[in-house]
Chain A
Amino acid sequence: EDKVVQSPLSLVVHEGDTVTLNCSYEVTNFRSLLWYKQEKKAPTFLFMLTSSGIEKKSGRLSSILDKKELSSILNITATQTGDSAIYLCAVRGEYNNNDMRFGAGTRLTVKP
Protein backbone atom coordinates (compact mmCIF):
# COMPACT_ATOMS: atom_id res chain seq x y z
CA GLU A 1 0.00 0.00 0.00
CA ASP A 2 1.25 3.46 -0.87
CA LYS A 3 2.33 5.50 2.12
CA VAL A 4 4.20 8.62 3.20
CA VAL A 5 5.97 8.67 6.55
CA GLN A 6 7.34 11.79 8.19
CA SER A 7 9.74 12.02 11.09
CA PRO A 8 9.98 13.19 13.69
CA LEU A 9 6.31 13.69 14.52
CA SER A 10 7.16 16.55 16.83
CA LEU A 11 10.24 18.69 17.41
CA VAL A 12 11.00 21.49 19.85
CA VAL A 13 14.04 23.71 19.25
CA HIS A 14 15.30 27.16 20.22
CA GLU A 15 15.62 30.13 17.94
CA GLY A 16 18.77 29.96 15.87
CA ASP A 17 18.89 26.17 15.74
CA THR A 18 18.96 24.27 12.46
CA VAL A 19 16.40 21.53 11.94
CA THR A 20 16.04 18.70 9.44
CA LEU A 21 12.66 17.16 8.76
CA ASN A 22 12.37 13.83 6.99
CA CYS A 23 9.87 12.36 4.59
CA SER A 24 10.01 8.85 3.18
CA TYR A 25 7.55 7.38 0.75
CA GLU A 26 6.37 4.29 -1.02
CA VAL A 27 4.28 5.36 -3.97
CA THR A 28 3.48 3.67 -7.24
CA ASN A 29 4.94 5.54 -10.20
CA PHE A 30 6.26 8.54 -8.34
CA ARG A 31 5.66 11.91 -9.99
CA SER A 32 6.49 14.58 -7.44
CA LEU A 33 7.00 15.34 -3.76
CA LEU A 34 5.66 18.52 -2.21
CA TRP A 35 6.30 20.25 1.09
CA TYR A 36 3.69 22.43 2.76
CA LYS A 37 3.70 24.59 5.88
CA GLN A 38 0.55 24.67 7.98
CA GLU A 39 0.17 27.23 10.70
CA LYS A 40 -3.27 27.79 12.14
CA LYS A 41 -5.15 27.45 8.92
CA ALA A 42 -4.75 26.02 5.44
CA PRO A 43 -1.46 24.52 4.25
CA THR A 44 0.71 26.82 2.16
CA PHE A 45 3.02 25.54 -0.52
CA LEU A 46 6.80 25.51 0.03
CA PHE A 47 8.49 23.31 -2.55
CA MET A 48 7.86 20.77 -5.24
CA LEU A 49 10.58 18.24 -6.04
CA THR A 50 10.68 15.95 -9.01
CA SER A 51 14.35 15.17 -9.61
CA SER A 52 16.94 13.68 -7.31
CA GLY A 53 19.84 15.74 -6.06
CA ILE A 54 18.54 19.16 -7.05
CA GLU A 55 18.16 21.39 -4.03
CA LYS A 56 15.28 23.80 -3.88
CA LYS A 57 15.92 26.84 -1.73
CA SER A 58 13.85 29.68 -0.41
CA GLY A 59 15.48 31.90 2.18
CA ARG A 60 16.36 29.80 5.20
CA LEU A 61 14.44 26.79 3.91
CA SER A 62 15.80 24.21 1.53
CA SER A 63 14.77 20.77 0.40
CA ILE A 64 16.21 17.93 -1.61
CA LEU A 65 14.88 14.67 -2.97
CA ASP A 66 16.63 11.30 -3.08
CA LYS A 67 14.67 9.01 -5.37
CA LYS A 68 17.04 6.13 -4.76
CA GLU A 69 16.33 6.28 -1.02
CA LEU A 70 12.68 7.24 -1.62
CA SER A 71 13.00 10.18 0.70
CA SER A 72 13.28 13.92 1.02
CA ILE A 73 14.53 16.29 3.68
CA LEU A 74 13.46 19.80 4.54
CA ASN A 75 16.10 21.94 6.23
CA ILE A 76 15.45 25.13 8.13
CA THR A 77 18.48 27.11 9.25
CA ALA A 78 18.58 29.85 11.90
CA THR A 79 15.05 28.99 13.00
CA GLN A 80 12.70 31.72 14.18
CA THR A 81 9.52 31.53 16.25
CA GLY A 82 7.58 32.21 13.06
CA ASP A 83 8.77 28.85 11.72
CA SER A 84 6.60 27.11 14.31
CA ALA A 85 4.07 25.12 12.31
CA ILE A 86 3.17 21.67 11.07
CA TYR A 87 5.24 20.73 8.03
CA LEU A 88 3.48 18.39 5.65
CA CYS A 89 5.01 16.21 3.00
CA ALA A 90 2.85 14.98 0.12
CA VAL A 91 3.62 12.67 -2.75
CA ARG A 92 1.90 12.54 -6.08
CA GLY A 93 1.92 9.24 -7.87
CA GLU A 94 -0.07 7.64 -10.58
CA TYR A 95 -1.77 5.25 -8.24
CA ASN A 96 -5.48 5.45 -8.79
CA ASN A 97 -5.20 8.24 -11.33
CA ASN A 98 -3.18 11.03 -9.85
CA ASP A 99 -4.17 11.13 -6.22
CA MET A 100 -2.14 13.01 -3.62
CA ARG A 101 -0.97 11.28 -0.46
CA PHE A 102 0.09 13.21 2.63
CA GLY A 103 2.21 12.23 5.58
CA ALA A 104 1.02 12.85 9.13
CA GLY A 105 3.19 15.94 9.41
CA THR A 106 5.97 17.14 11.71
CA ARG A 107 4.98 19.66 14.35
CA LEU A 108 7.87 22.10 14.82
CA THR A 109 7.92 24.40 17.82
CA VAL A 110 10.59 27.09 17.94
CA LYS A 111 11.06 28.63 21.37
CA PRO A 112 12.54 32.11 21.84
Chain B
Amino acid sequence: EAQVTQNPRYLITVTGKKLTVTCSQNMNHEYMSWYRQDPGLGLRQIYYSMNVEVTDKGDVPEGYKVSRKEKRNFPLILESPSPNQTSLYFCASSLEVAGGFSFRHNEQFFGPGTRLTVL
Protein backbone atom coordinates (compact mmCIF):
# COMPACT_ATOMS: atom_id res chain seq x y z
CA GLU B 1 0.00 0.00 0.00
CA ALA B 2 1.33 3.42 -0.99
CA GLN B 3 1.71 5.50 2.13
CA VAL B 4 3.62 7.95 4.26
CA THR B 5 4.37 6.74 7.77
CA GLN B 6 5.43 8.72 10.80
CA ASN B 7 6.68 7.59 14.18
CA PRO B 8 5.90 8.09 16.92
CA ARG B 9 2.25 9.10 16.59
CA TYR B 10 2.16 10.63 20.05
CA LEU B 11 5.04 11.89 22.17
CA ILE B 12 5.23 13.70 25.46
CA THR B 13 8.68 14.90 26.41
CA VAL B 14 10.47 17.50 28.50
CA THR B 15 12.27 20.66 27.53
CA GLY B 16 15.77 20.11 26.20
CA LYS B 17 15.62 16.37 25.57
CA LYS B 18 16.58 15.70 21.96
CA LEU B 19 14.04 13.83 19.87
CA THR B 20 13.58 12.59 16.34
CA VAL B 21 10.33 12.04 14.48
CA THR B 22 10.77 9.67 11.59
CA CYS B 23 9.02 9.92 8.24
CA SER B 24 9.13 7.32 5.51
CA GLN B 25 7.39 6.99 2.14
CA ASN B 26 7.25 4.02 -0.19
CA MET B 27 6.19 5.83 -3.36
CA ASN B 28 9.65 6.80 -4.60
CA HIS B 29 8.75 10.47 -4.25
CA GLU B 30 11.40 13.10 -4.68
CA TYR B 31 9.71 15.86 -2.69
CA MET B 32 9.23 15.51 1.07
CA SER B 33 8.16 18.10 3.56
CA TRP B 34 7.45 18.69 7.25
CA TYR B 35 4.63 20.87 8.56
CA ARG B 36 3.36 21.85 11.93
CA GLN B 37 -0.29 22.59 12.53
CA ASP B 38 -1.44 24.90 15.28
CA PRO B 39 -4.97 26.19 15.98
CA GLY B 40 -5.77 29.28 13.94
CA LEU B 41 -2.49 29.12 12.02
CA GLY B 42 -3.11 26.25 9.64
CA LEU B 43 -0.24 24.21 8.29
CA ARG B 44 3.13 25.89 8.30
CA GLN B 45 6.05 24.43 6.44
CA ILE B 46 9.15 23.72 8.53
CA TYR B 47 11.56 22.20 6.02
CA TYR B 48 11.29 20.55 2.67
CA SER B 49 13.51 18.48 0.43
CA MET B 50 13.48 18.31 -3.34
CA ASN B 51 15.66 15.21 -3.42
CA VAL B 52 18.38 13.29 -1.60
CA GLU B 53 20.88 15.59 0.13
CA VAL B 54 18.83 18.66 -0.87
CA THR B 55 16.94 20.40 1.93
CA ASP B 56 15.55 23.92 2.29
CA LYS B 57 13.96 25.98 5.01
CA GLY B 58 10.24 26.59 4.99
CA ASP B 59 8.42 29.27 6.94
CA VAL B 60 9.24 28.15 10.47
CA PRO B 61 12.58 26.27 10.53
CA GLU B 62 13.92 27.63 13.83
CA GLY B 63 14.56 24.90 16.38
CA TYR B 64 14.36 22.08 13.84
CA LYS B 65 16.78 20.10 11.71
CA VAL B 66 16.19 17.60 8.95
CA SER B 67 18.25 15.25 6.84
CA ARG B 68 17.66 13.44 3.58
CA LYS B 69 20.28 10.74 3.26
CA GLU B 70 17.91 8.36 1.49
CA LYS B 71 15.02 9.08 -0.83
CA ARG B 72 12.41 7.35 1.32
CA ASN B 73 13.29 8.88 4.71
CA PHE B 74 13.07 12.43 5.98
CA PRO B 75 13.49 12.61 9.76
CA LEU B 76 12.67 15.73 11.76
CA ILE B 77 15.08 16.45 14.60
CA LEU B 78 14.46 18.68 17.58
CA GLU B 79 17.85 19.13 19.24
CA SER B 80 16.52 20.96 22.28
CA PRO B 81 12.72 20.96 22.29
CA SER B 82 10.85 23.80 23.93
CA PRO B 83 7.18 24.15 24.94
CA ASN B 84 6.46 26.37 21.93
CA GLN B 85 7.18 23.35 19.73
CA THR B 86 4.16 21.58 21.16
CA SER B 87 2.12 20.97 18.03
CA LEU B 88 0.73 18.48 15.55
CA TYR B 89 3.35 17.56 12.96
CA PHE B 90 2.73 16.21 9.48
CA CYS B 91 5.15 14.77 7.00
CA ALA B 92 4.18 14.80 3.33
CA SER B 93 5.62 13.65 0.03
CA SER B 94 4.93 14.15 -3.64
CA LEU B 95 6.26 13.08 -6.99
CA GLU B 96 8.32 15.75 -8.65
CA VAL B 97 9.90 15.98 -12.05
CA ALA B 98 12.05 18.96 -12.98
CA GLY B 99 9.94 21.29 -15.09
CA GLY B 100 6.88 19.09 -14.65
CA PHE B 101 3.55 20.73 -14.07
CA SER B 102 0.90 18.06 -14.24
CA PHE B 103 -1.60 16.81 -11.73
CA ARG B 104 0.54 14.15 -10.15
CA HIS B 105 3.51 16.37 -9.57
CA ASN B 106 1.87 18.58 -7.01
CA GLU B 107 -0.48 16.39 -4.99
CA GLN B 108 1.07 15.84 -1.59
CA PHE B 109 0.36 12.68 0.37
CA PHE B 110 0.32 13.26 4.10
CA GLY B 111 1.39 11.01 6.92
CA PRO B 112 -0.99 10.36 9.84
CA GLY B 113 0.53 13.07 12.04
CA THR B 114 2.58 13.16 15.24
CA ARG B 115 1.18 14.94 18.24
CA LEU B 116 4.09 16.31 20.25
CA THR B 117 3.82 17.82 23.71
CA VAL B 118 6.87 19.45 25.26
CA LEU B 119 6.55 20.09 28.99
Contact = CB atoms under 8 A, between A and B. Distances in A.
B92 to A, nearest CB: 8
A48 B48 CA distance: 20
Interface residues of B, number: 27
A96 B56 contact: yes
Interface in B48-76: 48, 50, 56-59
B2 interface: no
B106 A48 contact: yes
Given A31-B106, A50-B101, A100 B111 contact: no
Nearest to A100: B45
Nearest to B110: A42
Given A43-B110, A45-B107, A31 B101 contact: yes
Interface residues of A, number: 25
Contacts, number: 61
Interface in A26-84: 31-32, 34, 41-45, 48, 50
A50 B104 CA distance: 12
Nearest to A90: B43
Interface stretch (B13-21, B34-42, B78-86): B34-42
A77 B29 CA distance: 34
Interface of A: 6, 9, 31-32, 34, 41-45, 48, 50, 88, 90, 92, 96-105
Given A9-B40, A96-B56, A99-B58, 12 more contacts: A6-B42, A41-B113, A43-B43, A45-B107, A48-B103, A48-B107, A88-B43, A99-B59, A100-B33, A101-B59, A102-B44, A104-B42
